[in-house]
Structure 1
């Protein structure tokens, strides 16, 4: 788990990366050496960066698996959330003052080994995020999605399947389900104080 100081640094790094990218400045790959980041940023972690504008999703992209350092994953995810989320047009420079930045640090996803009928009981709303996989299809929903949308575990499983491009009942029919936990740090308002969000 990250400390609050580390979480604040993660969100500030994400915002700085987006601002630098949109303003055409040098990306903070090099600056990040100069910013004194805590040692945890050199550890491999899964991470997602979520952007909201006026309470609505504006972009969300990340690395589900700890395949790169936390610093690199944040740099990459921040730019991707702002400019490469296929659901939204790229964020414009003029939007920066209205956008709230949220960083979710993930634990290693673990496969839930349970029969389909027992799966819903293994999913803890507000604690677990889900990944559903079948063939080439894969979908992920972060832990905060279920409580924010008042989903129960069956809704959550079904929505994760749909995110993967599968039918809502794919989890009943043998798709693999993985769970992970996330630690969420977000700005209270655009560019404002960073707090840890707990459900």
Structure 2
């Protein structure tokens, strides 16, 4: 598992809770792709039952296979992870739906998000912040690990967040709003 991105010395979830969430995501994928339903999760307590925002990323052979998430805490964290795991496998418009035979080769990664807060471009820290860029009805989001994986500096990160929103790369200089978050990122080995 990877550690927290952009967090201080204490992570929001402990190792047991992170493992529980990974198991919840995996069971949701297995059950949904096998039987067409999301399994009930009995006994989710504490932080897993509290409202939370998260993204679930699926990779296959080190390549993105699906990624869906919620930026606002609208349901229990365990439920958000279940729904996002299924949506990443079946609803990401960039990819065809995951087939049941692909399940063993998929790796699950979860990003638990802090609330979005306004940020100035010069305050953005690569590797610490995720970004939501918005202008009018256009908006795009990049998780904190994305610019690190691609080797981007701050300006490239801001540009690419704009591109993700369907805006010109320099929109962050011309009236687009920026909101940042941090994420605790962990995944299957």
> TM-score normalised to the size of structure 1?
0.87
* Residue 147 of structure 2 is aligned to residue 146 of structure 1: yes
Distance 2:151 2:47 in 1: 33
- Tell me the residue number matched to 1:170: 171
1:4-43 to structure 2, matched below 5 A, reads: 4-24=15-35, 26-28=37-39, 30=40, 32-33=41-42, 36-43=43-50
Distance 2:64 2:37 in 1: 27
Q: CA RMSD in A?
A: 1.0
Q: What is the CA deviation profile of residues 64-111 of structure 1, one whole-angstrom value per residue up to 9, with x for unaligned ones?
A: 111222022111101100000000000000101110000100000101
Which of 59, 63, 80 is residue 87 of structure 2 equivalent to? 80
Distance 1:51 1:92 in 2: 13
- Tell me the residue number matched to 1:187: 188
Larger RCO: 1 or 2 (CA < 8 Å, sep 6+): 2
- Aligned to 1:57, the other structure's residue is in SS state strand
- Aligned to 2:108, the other structure's residue is in SS state strand
Distance 1:123 1:47 in 2: 20
Distance 1:155 1:26 in 2: 40
Distance 1:76 1:26 in 2: 11
* Residue 111 of structure 2 is aligned to residue 104 of structure 1: yes
Contact 1:6-1:38 within 8 A present in 2 as well: no
1:38 Cα offset (Å): 3.6
Number of residue equivalences: 178
- Aligned to 1:138, the other structure's residue is in SS state strand
* Residue 72 of structure 2 is aligned to residue 61 of structure 1: no
- The worse-fitting range, judged by mean Cα deviation, of 69-78 and 165-174 is 69-78
- Aligned to 2:169, the other structure's residue is in SS state coil
> TM-score normalised to the size of structure 2?
0.91
* Residue 58 of structure 2 is aligned to residue 51 of structure 1: yes
- Tell me the residue number matched to 1:94: 101
* Structure 2: unaligned runs, 5 residues or longer: 1-11
* Structure 1: unaligned runs, 5 residues or longer: 189-199
- Tell me the residue number matched to 1:192: none
Distance 1:179 1:45 in 2: 16
Distance 2:157 2:36 in 1: 40
Distance 1:154 1:26 in 2: 43
1:25 Cα offset (Å): 5.5
